[in-house]
Amino acid sequence: MRTEIKPIRPDRTLLRQAVTDRIKTYIIDNRLKPGDPLPTEAELCEALNASRSSLREAIKTLAALDIVEVRHGSGTFVGRLSLSALVESLTFRGLLSPEDDLRALLDLVEVRQLFEEGMAAQIIERLDGEHLADLEQATAELEQCPPGSAAQVEADRKFHQLLMQPLGNQLISQLTGAFWDVHAIVAPYLGMSSPAEDADTVAAHRAMVEAARGRDADAFAAAVVAHYAPVRRRIAAAGRA
């Protein structure tokens, strides 16, 4: 049974932030899930004693954060609750200030390495033959891409998304996407990678696949460290420059 939204004093009009907070409280109290419908605009306005303009502003704020989703002609629903707002914030900061985003990129590198290195055993355990074949194909594409090209970056992104798929963890998958979205913005400031770095990166991907196929968690973790070493060096060099 859903929690009722308690009306407030009729002489008080909620501002946008207050309306926003009450809607979030309603979602939490009723344990709504992504895709569940919210009350109609009229019902929310009456229950919250809020004006339509305040309510609509609150809905826009929540929609931008992916907390709610407005489906024209159908109503308002609980959103996917993704990290889209985080990704947009990080990538926009990269456009405004490359120096700040070098820090953000390094932070994301550390988080991604922490996930892949720390969850080596779980990743290997859940990679089946089909996933390994997909990773083999992604590695082959990476080897064929021109070094330092946009195609190589995209192939790298595809590899890591495939790597994390079997975990079924949406947060990790979204952070993986966030890393590459920010990387695409900051990459021009990192300078060109050297042939040796490109070779090391490709070799690290191949080593991850071989370690996964051999069910060797230690070798997999070592390959993860080797993979992120070149980009760490390039970020450090760009920061000094």
The CATH number for 23's domain is: 1.10.10.10
Average pLDDT over residues 64-77: 88
Average pLDDT over residues 102-122: 84
Rounded to two decimals, what is the model's pTM? 0.64
Amino acid occupying residue 221:
A
3-state secondary structure (DSSP) of residue 51: coil
Residue 13 has what pLDDT?
43
Q: Is 128 within the bounds of a domain?
A: yes
Residue that has been written with the tokens 């009723």 in this structure: 30
Q: Is 11 within the bounds of a domain?
A: no
> Do 25 and 126 belong together in one domain?
no
d(CA 196, CA 198): 5
Residue 11 has what pLDDT?
40
> Do 98 and 190 belong together in one domain?
yes
221: pLDDT strictly greater than 50: yes
d(CA 135, CA 132): 5
Residue 223 has what pLDDT?
95
12: pLDDT strictly greater than 50: no
High-pLDDT (> 70) share of the chain, %? 82
Assign residue 151 the CATH number of its domain: 1.20.120.530
94: pLDDT strictly greater than 70: no
Distances in whole angstroms, Cα of residue 233 to Cα of each of 2, 90, 154, 224, 226: 53, 21, 20, 15, 11
Q: Is 74 within the bounds of a domain?
A: yes
Q: Which of 60, 78, 96 is the last residue of a domain?
A: 78
Residue 173 has what pLDDT?
80
Range of the domain at 183: 84-240
3-state secondary structure (DSSP) of residue 70: strand
> Do 196 and 156 belong together in one domain?
yes
pLDDT digits (tens, 9 = 90+) for 128-184: 999 999 999 999 998 898 876 778 878 888 899 899 888 888 778 877 777 777 776
> Do 154 and 41 belong together in one domain?
no
18: nearest Cα among 46, 64, 57, 70: 57
Split at pLDDT 50, 70, 90, the class of 8 is: very low
Q: Is 209 within the bounds of a domain?
A: yes
Residue that has been written with the tokens 């082959």 in this structure: 140
> Do 123 and 43 belong together in one domain?
no
Residue 102 has what pLDDT?
73
d(CA 159, CA 138): 6
> Do 210 and 132 belong together in one domain?
yes
> Do 95 and 185 belong together in one domain?
yes
Q: Which of 49, 78, 107 is the last residue of a domain?
A: 78
Domain count along the chain: 2
Residue 87 has what pLDDT?
64
> Do 143 and 169 belong together in one domain?
yes
Q: Which of 28, 44, 78 is the last residue of a domain?
A: 78
> Do 56 and 126 belong together in one domain?
no
> Do 123 and 219 belong together in one domain?
yes
Distances in whole angstroms, Cα of residue 42 to Cα of each of 34, 39, 77, 160, 221: 22, 8, 15, 45, 55
104: pLDDT strictly greater than 60: yes
Average pLDDT over residues 103-112: 79
Tell me the pairing of strands 75-78 and 68-71: antiparallel
> Do 103 and 190 belong together in one domain?
yes
> Do 165 and 138 belong together in one domain?
yes
Q: Is 121 within the bounds of a domain?
A: yes
Q: Is 212 within the bounds of a domain?
A: yes
pLDDT digits (tens, 9 = 90+) for 21-53: 889 888 888 888 889 999 999 998 887 778 888
Residues 6 or more apart in contact with residue 198 via CB below 8 angstroms: 147, 148, 152
